Structures are given as C-alpha cells and as structure tokens.
C-alpha cells in the first residue's frame, strides 16, 4: 500500500517533534550525536544544543524551609475524629523543592538558608541522597512542619502551615557570608519562599543587589512585602502566582490582557522575564519581545506540594538550554504538571514529563 505524500510528511513531522522534545529533556544524549546528525527540524535549526550541565552551577536560597507532612484521610471532616490511611514526610520549602527537581535533571546544586538544628536530619539525608551541597545555616529550634491532609475520596486537599523558627542578626550575617562564598563558584541563584519571623522583608532585595553586583543571575519566587520590595532590585525573573501578583499590585487581574499589562509593568522595572501561574488556566510567560500563554491538559491532581517550585525549575532548565519562550513555557508547565501527579515534592520519570510536554498547548499573544 502506498502512503500519500501528505500522510508521509505528517508522520515524519510527528516523529521529528518527538525527537526534538526527547533531546530537550535528555541533553547528555545530544552531546553524543555526531556533528552531521540533527534532531531538529529545518524550522528549529537555530535552536542551540544545551550547554554541558557541569558548566552551570545553581544555588537555591530557602529562608523558611519546612518538613512537608502529607496525611491521607478518606472522607476527612473538620470537628470530627479522623483516621489516617497513610502518612509521608518530605524535606521541603520552596527552594529545597526547586533544588530537588534540578538535581534530578543533573545540575550541580547547592542549598542555603536557615535550618532548625533540632530536626535537620531529614534534610541532611535528603541532600546526601540527591548529591546536593548543603550550605544551610543552622539556627536553634526546629524547622517548621507543613501538613497537607489529602482526601482521595472527595478529591480535596487541606493545608495546615506552622510558623517558621526565628533567626537573629548574627544568623543573617552568617547567611550573607555563606552566599558570598557560594557566589565565587555558582552562577544562578534562586530565592524562594516566605520570610520567617525576625527577618526584614527587604532581605530579598538586598540579596538581589548583592548578587547582581557579582554578575549573578537571580530568579525570585516570593510574595507579599518581600516580593514588592524585591521588584525594585530587578531580578532576572520573577514567578508570582496570580493571587500573589494581585496582592502586590492591589488590583484584580481577571483578564488575560490585564495579566499581560501587569507583567509588562514589571518588565519596565528591569526584570527580564515574568512568569505568572494561574492554576487551571495555565501560566503566562512574558518578555519584552514575546508573550506566551501555556495551557495545561486535564490531569488527576494527587498533591499540590511543589507545583509552583517545579515550574521555576522547568523555567530555569529551559533558559539554561537556550530554548525559545514557547518551548520553555511548555517545558516549565510540564514540570509543574508532573509535580501535581506525585505525593510530596518530586517529579515523575523524565519520560512522563516528555509525554506531558507534548500535551501542553502554547499560544503566542501580543
């Protein structure tokens, strides 16, 4: 049977897209290809091969880490006696989650911030397992616990977040010295999460200024006053969710046009990229030259732990591999969706992320 030319071309295009996506996710295989071989279509020939992962070193800063305790309670009821079906505890906090995701993709990662010395063992074992360099400053007390009650029958998740431990001025100075030392060897710095009690809300802005003076690339994922004050320091990229952006701007962003305009206002402050996550509606990726809306497919959500952090990790991965904004939006969204399908802050196998990446719809907007 002879396949029509149009059918052959469509089949070849589909295979080409699969090969391209595969090598975006498996960069070490790309380097093994002979020079005359290309997985890219003629339209994508300008896409550069990803740099060696050993060349780029990344530090994440988590000022308020947490132990994420997930408790499964079928038909959970407030004000009643509930029985736990199973429980799982994971070292977490936004920057710890980002570090974990990036380490899974082969990057050289260091972590720092404040860690309670009385229950640090779970973090230490985790960092050893993931081959993550531990540069956390130990402070007195226990690292907080965040409890997620998962009701798999009602498909509901209830969050109970404890306050973090208190750091004092000497702890802050120890952290600054540690970050200065890390800046001698690390290229990208990701500042993530809330600010614990006793820490000035301007600390992110001051760290961004300090790192930019050393020609470091800084990504910020924060909220509230610490986010508002850090905007003026103009990090390379910010990733608020829609509610965090509305809070900082003091306005409702109920249309795509309003979200885009709000992001562009941040670009005018000197920020290079603004990523706004919008839950089921997807995520908006905004730069001066392009605006991309990524829409996710429908999936079964098992846990919301680390979904936004996975998007940050996917975004950084895309930037380090030189992907255009459309492909970067697709990859970052696939990372986030992958985290939603797992219990605790972890990603599914890379093949699953590659499959999800193909299902993300992207649209260029103006």
d(CA 269, CA 115): 33
315: nearest Cα among 288, 287, 348: 287
247: nearest Cα among 233, 268, 262: 262
d(CA 59, CA 8): 47
Residues 199, 227 contacting (CB under 8 angstroms): no
Output the CA–CA distances (angstroms, integers) from residue 344 to 101, 192, 302, in the order listed.
12, 18, 9
- 105: three-class secondary structure by DSSP: coil
Catalytic residue among 151, 171, 221, 309: 309
Tell me the sheet residues that pair with 64.
none
Q: What does DSSP say about strands 273-277 and 237-238: parallel, antiparallel, or unpaired?
A: parallel
Residue 309 among the catalytic residues:
yes
Residues 240, 266 contacting (CB under 8 angstroms): no
d(CA 209, CA 19): 41
d(CA 40, CA 314): 21
Catalytic residues: 309
């Amino acid at each position: 049977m002879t396949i029509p030319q149009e059918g052959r071309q469509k089949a070849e295009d589909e295979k080409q897209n699969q090969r391209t996506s595969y090598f975006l996710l498996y960069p070490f295989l790309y380097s093994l290809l002979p020079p005359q071989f290309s997985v890219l279509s003629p339209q994508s020939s300008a896409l550069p091969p990803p740099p060696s992962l050993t060349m780029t070193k990344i530090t994440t800063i988590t000022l308020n880490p947490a132990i994420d305790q997930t408790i499964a309670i079928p038909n959970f009821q407030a004000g009643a006696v509930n029985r736990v079906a199973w429980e799982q505890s994971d070292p977490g906090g936004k920057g710890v989650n980002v570090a974990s995701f990036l380490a899974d993709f082969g990057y050289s990662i260091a972590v720092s911030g404040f860690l309670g010395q009385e229950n640090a063992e779970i973090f230490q074992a985790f960092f050893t397992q993931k081959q993550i360099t531990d540069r956390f400053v130990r402070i007195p007390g226990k690292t907080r616990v965040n409890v997620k009650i998962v009701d798999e029958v009602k498909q509901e998740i209830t969050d109970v977040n404890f306050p973090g431990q208190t750091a004092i001025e000497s702890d802050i100075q120890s952290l600054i010295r540690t970050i200065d030392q890390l800046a001698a060897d690390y290229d990208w710095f990701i500042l993530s999460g809330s600010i614990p009690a006793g820490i000035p809300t301007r600390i992110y802005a001051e760290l961004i200024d300090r790192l930019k003076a050393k020609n470091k690339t800084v990504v910020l994922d924060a909220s509230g006053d610490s986010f508002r004050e850090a905007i003026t320091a103009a990090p390379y990229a910010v990733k608020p969710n829609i509610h965090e952006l509305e809070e900082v701007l003091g306005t409702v962003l109920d249309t795509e046009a309003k979200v885009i305009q709000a992001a562009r206002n941040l670009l005018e402050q000197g920020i290079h990229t603004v990523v706004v996550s919008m839950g089921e509606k997807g995520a908006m990726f905004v730069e001066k030259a392009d605006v991309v809306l990524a829409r996710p497919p429908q999936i079964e959500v098992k846990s919301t732990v680390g979904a936004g952090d996975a998007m940050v990790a996917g975004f950084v991965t895309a930037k380090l591999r030189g992907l255009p904004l459309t492909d970067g939006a697709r990859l970052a969204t696939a990372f986030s969706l992958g985290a939603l399908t797992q219990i605790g802050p972890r990603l599914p196998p890379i093949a699953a992320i590659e499959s999800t990446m193909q299902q993300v719809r992207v649209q260029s907007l103006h």
